[in-house]
Amino acid sequence: MSARRIESRWVRAALVTAALSFLALFLFVPLAAVFAEALRKGWGAYLASIADEEARAAIRLTLVTAGIAVPLNLVFGVAAAWCIAKFEFRGKSVLLTLIDLPFSVSPVISGLIYVLLFGAEGWFGAWLQEHDVRILFAVPGMVLATVFVTFPFVARELIPLMQAQGREEEEAALVLGASGWQTFARVTLPNIKWGLLYGVILCNARAMGEFGAVSVVSGHIRGETTTIPLHVEILYNEYNFAAAFAVASLLAMLALATLAAKSVVEWRLRAAKELA
């Protein structure tokens, strides 16, 4: 078992140093800087920036947007994974590529497409104006843009997992007399719960942190159509750096929580795989 090292100890030390210095410069120092900048004016100012009325409105809107976008993409993700992983049909690989499409579109274009649909000059612009429905520069537009950018997350986690699990267990349940929904709830769901959770965590992190797409459709109406990232931008552009970083630190904590949850879920997934 004692694998002979091909590279000398010096090469090894140099590689570890290069990797860690690179990561320090690009990851560790920036992460520390968020919190250092946030606390530059002390805990009092930090808490005041977060308790500020506009900050609270931004937090509320972020929760609402993610609260709508994530469940919608959860349902879609499960449906897409069910038909792609458990059935054979023509055009499957095309469907897979189309599901991934939002990942390769620039965030700004993800917002632009809804401006083209619902803006004053857009396809539905005149009709919406006539009926006094506001989508663009209002919450519905921001939800739509968020749904677009988080579209593939759940489906992408579930499809390889469900493909690997095959369909014997479901078929057995059906033969034993379970209904379709019973099979899904008692057989499929327990098998995919960790992957599902993983997808939801990633989807939620992106939904709460999305900047470019919602920036295009938000109209930046303070206290009304600003999510947390947009509020950070406003504070920063007003040279209110300590407050900007204080609010940004909430998002950094969300990111750290996401990474922690991701590590736990990955560990559970690996444990489940080793058991199988």
Partner 1 sequence: MSLVFFRPRARVLPGFGLALGLSLAWLALIVLIPLSAVFAKTFTLSWDGFVAAVSAPRVLASFRLSFGAALAAALVNVLFGGIVAWVLVRYRFPGKRLVDALVDLPFALPTAVAGITLTALYSANGWIGRVLEGRFGWKIAFTPAGVVLALVFIGLPFVVRTVQPVLEEAERELEEAASSLGANGWQIFARVIFPTVLPALLTGFALAFARATGEYGSVIFIAGNMPMVSEITPLFIITKLEQYDYAGATAIALVMLLASFTLLFAINLLQAWTRRRAGAG
Sole binder of partner 1 in the list 45, 50, 63, 95 (CB under 8 A): 95
What is the DSSP-derived secondary structure letter of residue 3? P
Distance CA 39, CA 45 (A): 8
Please say whether the beta carbons of 231 and 54 come within 8 A: yes
Q: Does 263 help bind partner 1 (rule: CB under 8 A)?
A: yes
Binding mask 41-60 for partner 1 (x = CB under 8 A): --------------------
Q: Does 12 help bind partner 1 (rule: CB under 8 A)?
A: yes
Please say whether the beta carbons of 99 and 155 come within 8 A: yes
Q: Given the rule CB under 8 A, which of 24-32, 41-49, 126-134, 157-165 is the region that contacts partner 1?
A: 24-32
Q: Does 271 help bind partner 1 (rule: CB under 8 A)?
A: no
Q: Given the rule CB under 8 A, which of 42-50, 53-61, 129-137, 244-252 is the region that contacts partner 1?
A: 244-252
Identity of the residue, 15 or 189, whose beta carbon is nearer to partner 1 in the bound complex:
15
**Burial category of 270 from C-beta neighbours within 10 Å (exposed 0-12, middle 13-18, buried 19 and up):** exposed
Binding mask 125-164 for partner 1 (x = CB under 8 A): -------------------x--xx--x-------------
**At its nearest, how many Å lie between partner 1 and the CB of residue 30?**
5
Radius of gyration for the alpha carbons in the chain, expressed in angstroms and rounded: 23
Q: What is the DSSP string of 221-253?
A: -TTTS--HHHHHHHHHHTT-HHHHHHHHHHHHH
**At its nearest, how many Å lie between partner 1 and the CB of residue 3?**
6
Identity of the residue, 122 or 223, whose beta carbon is nearer to partner 1 in the bound complex:
122
Count of C-beta atoms within a 10 Å radius of residue 198: 23
Binding mask 170-189 for partner 1 (x = CB under 8 A): xx--xx----x--xx-----
**Burial category of 75 from C-beta neighbours within 10 Å (exposed 0-12, middle 13-18, buried 19 and up):** exposed
Q: Does 2 help bind partner 1 (rule: CB under 8 A)?
A: no
Q: Does 268 help bind partner 1 (rule: CB under 8 A)?
A: no
Q: Does 68 help bind partner 1 (rule: CB under 8 A)?
A: no
**At its nearest, how many Å lie between partner 1 and the CB of residue 195?**
17
Q: Does 20 help bind partner 1 (rule: CB under 8 A)?
A: yes
Distance CA 67, CA 150 (A): 12
Please say whether the beta carbons of 141 and 114 come within 8 A: yes
